[in-house]
Amino acid sequence: MHVKDLKRSSEHSIMSKLIVEPEYLSESYLPEKLLHRDKEIAELLGNARNFVSTLVYGPYGSGKSTLVKYVFKSLSGKFVPRYIDCSIYPTTYSVLKEVVPRGPLILARSNYELIKELKREVKDKRFIVCLDGFEKLREKDLIRKLLLLGVTLVLVTDEEENVSLITDDVRSRLGVLRVNPYTSEQVFDILKARAEKALVRWSYTDDLLRKISLGFLPVNSTNCMKASV
């Protein structure tokens, strides 16, 4: 066996002994309880239930996307939540294809046909659509079109200044929610909650987690946990 293969095998063996529940380290993991975001959850959930579109902004890594996904998971009944990452779906067609319920002829549909179908759907359902990184949309006018159709929007961005990319009539219809960065104590709480679920107890200490939360090691939630291993 090649030396690199041996090293890789050894690292995998060590990781498998330290990590007991890897799903808790996944970027897609959504906690049952979102720590230190009660106020933001209540505000965004209240807006959603009252069909108020919202601009959510805050620095990178402050948990904006997780916040939206958590609130969307809390919605039920008549709500049809759709979370869309605009860095992956930047075109009008790709966004509409994600919003409109899928059918057998989805690939053959034009923008016009998709909007027409969405117009029919919103008569009976309450669509709430998150456009995460909306500034990456190639055609910003899609935002106005969705609002005119009666779709509730959650626009997410790292910079409040990005709201200047949309028209005044759209801006006037948006509530604004700022998500502040976590403090080091809050990061510690989050890391500890993840570590308790994902790692064997002897593989980390509170002191190590505190060092990570203070910035001695990467503070991205997933990278933090990997660094602590």
Q: Tell me: the pLDDT tens digits for 114-126?
A: 999 999 999 999 9
Which tokens in the block code for residue 221? 């939630």
Contact in structure between 58 and 178 (CB atoms under 8 Å)? yes
> What is the reported pLDDT for 226?
39
> What is the reported pLDDT for 10?
42
Domains and CATH numbers, the chain: 38-178 (3.40.50.300), 182-229 (no CATH)
Phi, psi of 226 (to 5 degrees): -65, -35
Q: What parts of the chain have a pLDDT lower than 70? A: 1-17, 103-108, 216-229
> What is the reported pLDDT for 78?
86
- Tallying the residues shown for the chain, one arrives at 229
> What is the reported pLDDT for 27?
81
Who's near 1: CB < 8 A, 6+ residues apart?
9
DSSP character at residue 20: S
Alpha-carbon dihedral angle through residues 64, 45, 42, 193, given to the nearest 10 degrees: -50
DSSP 113-145: HHHHHHHHHTTTSEEEEEEETGGG-S-THHHHH
The CA distance from 176 to 123, in Å, is: 27
| Residue 90 CA neighbour count, 13 Å, CB half | 7
Handedness of CA 85, 89, 92, 95 (dihedral sign): negative
Q: What is the pTM of this model?
A: 0.84
